[in-house]
């Protein structure tokens, strides 16, 4: 069945460092891909999305490109801030459906 | 976008009791979903709440344990029945709305069963 694999955390970075969180997926058809963020004590917020191959989603300095050839959707940010500390979830929605399949989540801790 | 409100936001429940979580969306949506997030874990889909018909449950979840109602296009409830400590989780309501059917989440209902 469809699935999402994320790099294990926690990821610990210093402020202004470059961030990459790897995400790969297995799916039949053409899924939509998402990154959600969960700040401490809060619910899920949509960070960015891409609905077809080669699309780049971006928001708040984060970006991810839908790579069909490598079945990947890696999250990147050029310069992280302490306020980016959160858990990041990669997810896919199988083509034509709105229910989401989530990865395990990656905890990011950014230190001053 | 869509704003999704859940009640209660947090609760501490006695084992053996049941609790109903309410989810209200600020616009009409075709699809609503319920997810569970156990402590330190990822999210797992419980069921799709269908308006006017029975919910569609994912493998491992049953109606007797998690009855769901969806009386209209903006509202749904999830009941967690006969709770045990293993049901301590965040329960999140989700809906697809807006252009491109973006999927939004409520802030979650944090349940602790003692």
Could you report the per-residue pLDDT of A69-95, keeping only the tens digit for each? 999 999 999 999 999 999 999 999 987
Question: Distance from B27 to chain A by nearest Cα, in Å?
Answer: 17
Task: Give the span between the Cα atoms of B29 and B75, in whole angstroms.
Answer: 9
Please compute the mean of the pLDDT values over residues A34-53 and round it to a whole number: 91
Least confident range from A51-55, A95-99, B8-12: namely A95-99
Task: Give the span between the Cα atoms of B22 and A107, in whole angstroms.
Answer: 29
Please compute the mean of the pLDDT values over residues B86-103 and round it to a whole number: 86
- Per-residue model confidence (pLDDT) at position B100: 65
CB < 8 Å to A44, chain B: 43, 92, 105, 108
Q: In what order do the strands lie in the sheet with A19-21?
A: A19-21, A75-77, A62-65, A56-59
Q: Is the pLDDT of residue A48 over 70?
A: yes
- Looking at the DSSP bridge assignments, the partners of residue A39 are none
- Per-residue model confidence (pLDDT) at position B99: 64
Question: Distance from A42 to chain B by nearest Cα, in Å?
Answer: 6
Please name the member of B48, B104, B107 whose beta carbon is closest to the beta carbon of A99. Answer: B48
- Per-residue model confidence (pLDDT) at position B31: 86
More confident residue, B42 or B15: B15
DSSP state of A52: S
Tell if the CB–CB gap between A44 and B105 is shorter than 8 Å.
Answer: yes
Answer whether B24's CB lies under 8 Å from B9's CB: no
- Per-residue model confidence (pLDDT) at position A42: 84
In whole angstroms, how large is the CA radius of gyration of chain A?
Answer: 13
Residue A76: Cβ-neighbour burial (10 angstroms; 0-12, 13-18, 19+): middle
| DSSP codes of every residue in B70-97 | EEETTEEEEEE-S--GGG-EEEEEEEEE
- Per-residue model confidence (pLDDT) at position A60: 95
- Looking at the DSSP bridge assignments, the partners of residue A3 are A26
Band of the pLDDT at A96, cuts 50, 70, 90? low
Task: Give the span between the Cα atoms of B92 and B102, in whole angstroms.
Answer: 16
Residue B51, chain A, CB below 8 Å: the answer is no
Please name the member of B92, B96, B102 whose beta carbon is closest to the beta carbon of A43. Answer: B92
Could you report the per-residue pLDDT of B96-114, keeping only the tens digit for each? 877 666 888 999 999 999 9
Tell if the CB–CB gap between A104 and B41 is shorter than 8 Å.
Answer: yes
More confident residue, B109 or A43: B109
Q: Is the pLDDT of residue B1 over 80?
A: no
Of all residues in chain B, the percent with pLDDT exceeding 90 is 79
Q: Is the pLDDT of residue B59 over 90?
A: yes
- Per-residue model confidence (pLDDT) at position B5: 94
- Per-residue model confidence (pLDDT) at position B97: 78
Residue A99 has a CB neighbour count (10 Å cut-off) of 18
CA distances from B9 to A6, A19, A42, B38, B65 (A): 29, 32, 10, 15, 20
- Per-residue model confidence (pLDDT) at position A33: 94
CA distances from A70 to A8, A54, A67, A82, B35 (A): 19, 11, 6, 31, 29
- Per-residue model confidence (pLDDT) at position A5: 96
Structure tokens that stand for A1 in this block: 């069945």
């Amino acid at each position: 069945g469809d699935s999402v694999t994320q790099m294990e955390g926690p990821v610990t970075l210093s402020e202004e460092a470059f961030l990459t969180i790897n995400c790969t997926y297995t799916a039949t058809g053409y899924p939509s891909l998402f990154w959600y963020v969960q700040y401490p004590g809060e619910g899920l917020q949509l960070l960015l999305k891409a609905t077809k191959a080669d699309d780049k989603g971006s928001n708040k300095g984060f970006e991810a490109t839908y790579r069909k050839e490598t079945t990947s959707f890696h999250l990147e940010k050029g310069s992280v801030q302490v306020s980016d500390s959160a858990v990041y979830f990669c997810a896919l929605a199988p083509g034509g459906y709105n229910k989401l399949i989530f990865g395990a989540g990656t905890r990011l801790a950014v230190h001053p | 976008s869509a704003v999704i409100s859940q009640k209660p936001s947090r609760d501490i429940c006695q084992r053996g009791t049941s609790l109903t979580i309410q989810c209200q969306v600020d616009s009409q949506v075709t699809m609503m979903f319920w997810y569970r997030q156990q402590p330190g874990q990822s999210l797992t889909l419980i069921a799709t709440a269908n308006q006017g018909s029975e919910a569609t449950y994912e493998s491992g979840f049953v109606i007797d344990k998690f009855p769901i109602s969806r009386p209209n296009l903006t509202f749904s409830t999830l009941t967690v029945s006969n709770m045990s400590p293993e049901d301590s989780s965040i329960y999140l309501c989700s809906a697809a709305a807006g252009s491109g059917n973006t999927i939004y989440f409520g802030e979650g209902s944090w349940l602790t069963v003692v």
